[in-house]
Amino acid sequence: MRLSAALAKLARAAGVAPIPASSGTTQRQRLDQGGNRQINAALHRVIVSRARCHPETRDYIARRRSKGKTTREAIRCLKRYLARRVWRLLQPLTPPEKSLNLLT
């Protein structure tokens, strides 16, 4: 399985995968209402805490709002970003290369 496909499955399972919700000329995406609500709630708590205390997150939300996004849409983007970070942390470390040094 490709890494991006597995990441997409994690996002879908956590309920943070974007779903097209366009109408007419408005192009929008919304979050999936399904998935594991506990994972989604944990991601939401992290994002809300970061929005209160983390300057880079506040700046990101402000940039998204200046581009016409709502706060909820900015949080949706941040949840997806956080799911990618969590996915990378869950991956096993690559094994170190074997040393060809015969003295060790």
pLDDT band (50, 70, 90) for residue 31: low
How many CA within 13 A on the CB side of residue 82? Answer: 23
Instruction: Assess if residue 102 is contained within a domain.
Output: no
pLDDT of residue 88: 84
DSSP the chain: --HHHHHHHHHHHHT-SEEE--BTTB--EEE-S-S-HHHHHHHHHHHHHHHHH-HHHHHHHHHHHHTT--HHHHHHHHHHHHHHHHHHHHSPPPPPPPP--TT-
Our count of domains for the chain comes to 1
* Residue 35 lies inside a defined structural domain of this protein: yes
The predicted-structure confidence for 57-80, as pLDDT tens digits, reads as follows: 999 999 999 999 889 889 988 998
11 CB contacts (<8 Å, ≥6 apart)?
17, 80, 83, 84
Is 97 inside any structural domain?
Answer: no
Is 100 domain-assigned? no
Please state whether the predicted TM-score (pTM) of the whole model is above 0.95. Answer: no
**Looking at residue 4, what is its pLDDT?**
74
Is 38 domain-assigned? yes
Q: What is the pLDDT of residue 103?
A: 57
Mean predicted confidence (pLDDT) in 18-47: 81
Q: Which domain holds residue 70?
A: 3-87
Does residue 13 form part of some domain?
yes
Higher pLDDT, 100 or 49: 49
